[in-house]
Structure formats: structure tokens, C-alpha cells
Structure 1
Amino acid sequence: MTATVSNFYYGAVTPVTAYLMACLGAGLGLRCTTRSLRRPHRRAGWLALGAISIGCGIWTMHFIAMIGFSVQGALVSYDTTRTVLSLAVAIAVVAIGVFLVGYRGSSPVNLGVAGTVTGLGVAAMHYLGMAAIHTNGDLNYDTQTVALSVVIAVAAATAALWAAVSIHSLWSSLGASLVMGLAVTGMHYTGMAAVSVHVTGQAASSQSSTSLVSFLLVMLAGPLIVLLIAAVIVMFDPDMMLGDDERDRATAAPYGSGTGFPVQQPAPPSQPYTTR
């Protein structure tokens, strides 16, 4: 029997929260990448923090959205190992893309390679997370809808990596993060639209939806803490405290107006030499 599948069991709460987490991870990743370009001596550290932020944001978005996933006549649980592995995949593939554009630039070829690798990795994270589902039924996927979700993932990843090395101002980064969050969340729900479940047995009476939500909340705790730490680091960084304009003025203060060279201070007037 094919069961009725819903992705909005708790209404708009899960999709809105998932979208906001995707935006948070994208925004932190963009600001970290901006700092890596301004500080070459700390580039690897900032790129790593950016990759972790984006990866955790995408993964957190996915599993917050999955809280609203329900199958009529079946109870759902998750395999812990595959769930954690999907988090590692998300961070690893984002790191590949971020480090490629961070060190090799945003040429069309490099951006295309980095975006494709990252997008395919994000799609792999999504479907690995789906493979972690245990239920009294078989999950089936519509091939065309799955292919569409992969295309969206690649396009979203490419746009995100381009924005990471091309958009530097605070407000532009915030706007880009909203668009990126929409793209990543759209990829998730497109992938979920491909899912159908054929129930093959009775649900175990010992399971409950409350235990499922509790499991997902425990799994989400670690990435949420990481995102909080990343947010604190970014917020208290001098670039954020000053702002882009103030930082540029502070950097340019010892220099002549538009010359790029230090201002030459006039020497004090020489005193006439007198003898007694």
C-alpha cells in the first residue's frame, strides 16, 4: 500500500526554521570567506570556519525540515551512523569547493568544477540522510524529480561559491545569504517531492513521534553549537565591529588622499647658525 507522505506535519514551523538555518550558515560562510581574502596569512583558518558554517547550516536545514516528515501508517526512525556520516559529507564537500575558490580564484573553469563537486556532494548528503531512515515500508524515488534536485544543488553551490569570493560588503552578503538559503531549502523540498513510501508491515507500537523528534534534536545540538561559536567569532571580529567603510578609512588613514603613499610631513624649519 502506498502511504500518504507529508513534509509539513508541524505546519510552517519546520520549513521556516530550516530556511533560517540555511541562511545563517550561508551568511557566516560568506563573511568568513571575505575575511580569508583580506587576511592571506590566516586564509586556511577562515576558509575552514566558512566551510564548517555552510556545511552545518545545510545539514541543520535538512534535518530540521525532516522533523516535519511523516508517513501515514508508518513510524520513522533514523540510523545514527548514517546520520552523522551525512554531516561529515556536507562539511567535506563544502570545504573542497570553498578551498578551491579561496586559493585558485573564481575563473569560470575553477568555479564550475568547485560548484559541481560541492553540489553533487550536497545532493549526496541529502540522499544519504534519507538512506538513514528506517520505517515499515520501502522508500521509492521519482528519477526526474531527483535529477532536478541535483541540478538545483549544483546551481545553488556554484552561486554560493561565486558569492563567497565576489561579494564583500555586509549588506550584500546578507542579501546573498537569503537567496542561497532559498536555493538550498528549495533543493531539499524538491528532493522530498520525489519520495513515495510503500508500507509493507505494521508500525512498531513501542515507537513514537516524540522519540523521533527527541533523537533529531539531540543530533542537531552539536551543529547548532558550532554555528553559535562561528557566529560569535564573526561578530567580534574587528572587520565586523568597524564595518567595511570604517575599516577602509582606518587602513587609508596614514596615506595621502588617493596616492597610496604615506603623506610626507614637512621638515621643521632649520635654525640659523650663529656664532658668539
Structure 2
Amino acid sequence: MSGTYNFWLVALSLVVASLASYTALDLSGRIALLKRSRLRHLWFAGGAVAMGLGIWSMHFIGMLAFSLPMAMGYDLVITGYSLVIAIVVSWFALHVVTRAKLGIYRLVVGGISMGLGIASMHYTGMAAMQMQPAIEYEPGLFATSIAIAIAASGAALWIAHTLSVSDHYRVFIKRVIAACVMGIAICGMHYTGMAAARFPQGMVSGAASSIDSHWLATTVTLFTFAILAVTLILSRFDTRNSHLAGSVSQLNGQIVHMATFDTLTELPNRHTLTERIERAIEHSRRRHSLFAVLFMDIDGFKTINDSLGHTVGDEVLKSFARRLLYCVRNDDTVARLGGDEFVVVLENIASPDDASRMAKSVLERMRKGFWNDDQPLQVMPSIGIALFPQDGKSVDTLLKNADAAMYEAKHGKSTYCFYEASMNEKASRILTIHQALLEALNNGYFLLHFQPKFHSASGELSGAEALLRLDHPELGPLMPGEFIPIAERYGQIVQIGYWVVSETCRQIRRWQRDGRQAVRVAVNLSPRQLAEPDLVTKILAIVHAEGVDCDQLMFEITETVAMQNATRTIEMIREFQANGFEIAIDDFGTGYSSLAYLQRFRVKQLKIDRFFTNGLDTHAQEGSAIVSAIIALAHSLDMGVVAEGVETPSQRDKLKSLMCDEMQGYLLGRPLSADAFQALLQTLRERA
């Protein structure tokens, strides 16, 4: 006896199979994201019911699509058994695909188990018709249907597991395509199983009066679509809420991270450092132990940052932070306070020697290699060390005293220093001078002295060097060696430098107005000034505003500063020269300039450092040989030579014999006030 199929119900079974497959894929992805076990169990239960109902409905609609020339029906209890089998199989499938890993063994065992379960559901549903005599199955097709069920189940498990962790951007399209393929495979298994069934003539259905087929088809279809739709809607809604909650949680985490860590270096910031030091204080008090605070900043970082740009500066800071982390132990804290200031907290140390060894280790690591391939930058810190409890019993005191020790270490450059009580007096003095510098420009406490320079051969005046002085009404006269490093440290030297240029121009104009001899005045430029991108433009504006010719000024750059960024120095020298200014290299011989760079600088003068001038007396032949070599080198490069610090007649005479071009020093002329220098000019004019 042969049967026929209702095309629309067959198509409907395919739609239900695809929808059930998509629901399974969506649920597997949803459950894989869940962390709390209670929610996972709830979604496992609800998902198994919805997915099982979908698979069962597809098979049952497919059976309802098949009709024989006799009355047909389905036993309610056996039909219920087939539904239970579908739900159990669905639970098993969800359990397998939501595992973190799906190996080959688990995939094969899962595919076989699930395939046999689906086949059991199908043939149990067939048994619900209670055909008499019993349905016979063609062995080949029967085995084929089971093989299809196992293969389809294995493929479904693999696809579902893969898409549960797929890229969210494309997961919807992937799941739709996969669901259609899985739906076709499931239908293929069902209709292969139906094809395996043999219905002999005279067969009757013992359940023909139990359930009406048309009513059952309509009810199952509507109920299935409703359950699957509700499940998908709940899954989407819950996923959206989970993503929103996850985004809020992630945002909160980012806010907390930003509040406690430095965004550039990823090191703890000041707030976190304070908490760590407070914890270290409590811990050390309980155990009566020591810990150390190492306060450090990078020598010359402001010059690097301003001359090479903030991008290079940021890379230097990040590299410094990484190297610092390699120096410390796992339990130590490395933090960035801001700018180029870093702090290391060493807990549980046995003695101050442990802190000393750590400081040496940091300095040694920083000496190795360079930070930038284009520029020979060797970035070194100065380190100050404060110990608990002898150097402070609070966070603020420890940091303040470590900072004071660090500033003391700055005098030695790239070294470390332990805190001493006397440093507070120095720190207080520094702050006082810093405040005095803030007042000096506004209240006219600065003044210029001018030290004359003379031609070696004729003894005539060749020019002067402008020297800055500070006379404070409360602190009294302050020497440049005391206040200039402080002005350099706090950045005040830039504005002070512009004042020096302006005041020098005013004095030159005053001397010219009074008919005095025209002299060229040399002005020193500081490292901070050279880092200013518009230095030449601002100086040119000052000179033009004062009505002075550019050739009346010469700017001096120390050799060490010139070589910190030789490429930038060359650009700066060319810009000065293009605007009519001349440049001199000051303190020559104390730095590390190469002949190649000296040739590229093409400056007007070299100024021999006073160390070599003194060596003419103290080292006799060796001293004369060095000075002679410097003079010969300068003359070969068409540069003039000025010797500083000439204090004895023997030094003067030797410099003359060595063909030095110009000299300056206390023997020839001490620094003079503007009025005294004007009087010197008047005297020289009268002699002429």
C-alpha cells in the first residue's frame, strides 16, 4: 500500500526544521556567554523544551504530511514519549555544544548519541500510529536514515559550537545559512526513514480514533511557531540586556582603571601610590621592618620633549617605565606621579643597602642602549631615597623627603642620594629662590653686568659678555650658580632669557645714543630656551622692537647642550645665522662634540673653557699642547677662539704666543655694571 505527501505540509516541515535549527544555534551562543550557573540551568531547561519541541514538530508535521488510503491517527501517550525523547536529545545537544572545548572524541560520541536519539524519536512517533499489522522497514533505507541522523547530528553539533563563539558582526548571517543546511539534513533523515517504511495491504491504524490529524497538524504548527518565536525573542532580549550590563561593567572597569593607573605607562598613579605606601606603613609598623621610597625623574627630559616632540617624549617615558619594571621585585610598586617623575616602593628590605643596590641596578639598566634609533639619546634618572621610619612616618613626608634627596642627586647627575635632614633646609631655600624668581621679573630685581673681551694681539676691546645678576631686597645678591639651575628646573629661565636679550638691546642702544664705541655683546642661551620652537622668531621681534642691528648680538651655546640634539642644534644655528646673528660654542672641550659635528655647526667662535686656561699654569707643557690643538682646530675651520678665565700674566702671554684671538677674565677686566661699562667705553674713546 503506497501513500502520498501533502506538498504544503512537507514545505512547512522544512521551515519548522530550519527555524528549530536556528533556535538551537542562537541558544547555544546565548548559553555560552552565561557565567552564572543558575541562569545557565534555566536556559538549558527552557532551551531544551523549545528546541526539542521544534525538532519533534518537524518530524510530526512530516508524518502528518504523509497520507494513506485509510483512516490514520496517533496514540497520545506514545506521541508524548517521542516528544520527551526530542527534549532529552535537545538538552544533550545544548550541553555538548556549550562546552569550552569540543574535541574529536566528544564530537563523535555526541553525534552518535544525538543521531540515535533523533532516530528513536522518529520511529517512536511512527509507532504512535499503532499500525496493524506492524510497519515493516526496508533494512538499507532504515540504516541509511540512522546514518543520516548521526551525520547530521555531528555536523549540527560542530556548527553550533563554532558559531557559539563566532564574530558577532557576521554571526546572524552565518546562523541563518547554517540553519537552512541543518534543516535540510534533518528533513533528509526524516523522509529517508519514511521511505524505509512498508505498509502492507489491509493495514489499519489502531489509533485512528485517538487524535484528529487535521486538528493535530494545525495545533502542533501554531504551538511550535509560538514557542520558538517566544524563545528567540527572550533570547534576543536577554542577550541585549547582557551586552548592556557587560558594557556598563566594562565601562566601570575602565573608569576605575583610569582613576588608579597612568594612561600612558599603565603604571599605578599618584592615588594608587598613596594607598600602596599607606599599606606599606601599616605592614612595616606591625612587623617593625623597613621599606624605602625611591623618587626619580629623568635628567634633561624637558629638552628631549620640547626639541624632539611629545611623541618621542612619550615613547621615552614608556620605555623608561618598562625598564624600571625589570629592575624591581614582584612585590615592589612602580608608579608614575606625572611628567617624568617616577616612584619605586621597596617593601621588606633588611637594610638601606638593599635600597642602594636597587638604585644602582636602575642606573645600570638605564645606561644600556639608547631609546631612539634616529637620535643618540641615553636617558638617565637622578634618584632620591627616603627610608621608613627614620625619614618620615607619613606618605607626604616620605615623598617630600625622597624628592629633596632626588634634587640633591641632580647636582651629581645620573646618580642616587639618601635623604638627610639638612636637605630640608636646601629644599626650603630652593622654594624661597623659586618664589623670588617669580617676583624678580615683575619688580625689576634682575640686572646685567658686562664682562669685556679683548683682542689678544692689540689689547683693544673686542666685545662683552652679558652676565645675569639678581639682587633681591630680602635675600640680597644671589649668584647665578644658585638661581639659574632653579630657574632652569622650573622653566622660568625662558622668560628670563627673553628679558636678558631685551635688556642687552636697550643697553646697546643707550651706548650708541651717547656716542660710545659699538661693541658686540654675547648672550648665553640655556637648554630650555633652545627647546623653544619659536626662539629665533621671538628674539628677532625683540631686537627689531629695540631698534638694534642683529650683528650687535652673538649667542653662546655650551658644547654639552649643543650635542644633546646635534641635528636640532644645527637647524637652530642656521636659523640664527640666516637672520644676521652669530653663534659661539661655549665651554669648548668639556663636552663630547665630534669633528664632523663641529664642522657642520660652522659657528663664529669657540670659547675655550677656563679649565684649559688654568691648565696653562698647572700643567705647563701638556696644558699648552691641548690649548694649541684647540686653537689650530678652530682656525682650520675658519673660527675665532676666545679664552675664558684669564687670571694671570703667564696665561695671557702663553695665549698670545699660541695665536688665541680674544681673551676675557679677571686679569683683563671684571664684570661691570651697565654704567661702569659705559664709563669704560668712554675711557677707551678718549684714549683713541
Scaled by the length of structure 1, the TM-score of the pair is 0.79
Match of 2:23 in 1: 28
The letter for the 1-side match of 2:45 is A
| CA distance in 1: counterparts of 2:73 and 2:215, whole angstroms | 11
The letter for the 1-side match of 2:188 is G
Match of 2:81 in 1: 85
SS in 2 for 1:198: coil
The letter for the 1-side match of 2:8 is V
Match of 1:4 in 2: 2
Contact 1:51/1:94 (<8 A) preserved = yes
Q: 2:54 aligns with which of 57, 61, 65?
A: 57
Question: Once structures 1 and 2 are overlaid, which stretch shifts more, 155-164 or 221-230?
Answer: 221-230
| CA distance in 1: counterparts of 2:54 and 2:216, whole angstroms | 18
What does the per-residue CA deviation read over 1:133-183, in whole Å, with 9 as the maximum and x for residues that have no partner? 134554211011010000110111111111121113111111111111000
Q: 1:116 aligns with which of 109, 112, 117?
A: 112
Contact 1:30/1:50 (<8 A) preserved = no
Match of 1:40 in 2: 35
What does the per-residue CA deviation read over 1:174-203, in whole Å, with 9 as the maximum and x for residues that have no partner? 111111100001100000001111133678
Pair 1:255–1:126, CA change in 2 (3 A): same
Match of 2:121 in 1: 125
As a proportion of its length, which structure holds more helix? Answer: 1
Question: Once structures 1 and 2 are overlaid, which stretch shifts more, 34-43 or 125-134?
Answer: 34-43
Q: 1:17 aligns with which of 12, 21, 24?
A: 12
Aligned length: 258
Contact 2:13/2:61 (<8 A) preserved = yes
| CA distance in 1: counterparts of 2:61 and 2:130, whole angstroms | 17
List aligned pairs for 1:84-233, cutoff 5 A: 84-103=80-99, 105-135=101-131, 137-167=133-163, 168=166, 169-200=171-202, 211-219=212-220, 222-233=223-234
The letter for the 2-side match of 1:170 is F
| CA distance in 2: counterparts of 1:21 and 1:229, whole angstroms | 14
Once the two structures are TM-superposed, the CA of residue 212 in structure 1 deviates from its matched residue by 2.0
Aligned CA-pair RMSD: 3.6
Once the two structures are TM-superposed, the CA of residue 67 in structure 1 deviates from its matched residue by 1.8
Question: Once structures 1 and 2 are overlaid, which stretch shifts more, 125-134 or 223-232?
Answer: 223-232
| CA distance in 2: counterparts of 1:126 and 1:203, whole angstroms | 17
The letter for the 1-side match of 2:180 is L
Question: Once structures 1 and 2 are overlaid, which stretch shifts more, 117-126 or 47-56?
Answer: 47-56
As a proportion of its length, which structure holds more strand? Answer: 2
| CA distance in 2: counterparts of 1:214 and 1:69, whole angstroms | 15
Larger RCO of the pair (alpha carbons < 8 Å, separation 6+): 1
Q: What are structure 2's unaligned runs of at least 5 residues?
A: 270-336, 340-430, 436-688
Q: What are structure 1's unaligned runs of at least 5 residues?
A: none
SS in 1 for 2:199: strand
Match of 2:366 in 1: none
Contact 1:101/1:165 (<8 A) preserved = yes
| CA distance in 1: counterparts of 2:162 and 2:12, whole angstroms | 28
Pair 1:106–1:75, CA change in 2 (3 A): same
The letter for the 2-side match of 1:4 is S
Scaled by the length of structure 2, the TM-score of the pair is 0.34
| CA distance in 1: counterparts of 2:189 and 2:3, whole angstroms | 18
| CA distance in 1: counterparts of 2:94 and 2:247, whole angstroms | 29
Once the two structures are TM-superposed, the CA of residue 66 in structure 1 deviates from its matched residue by 1.6
The letter for the 2-side match of 1:55 is G
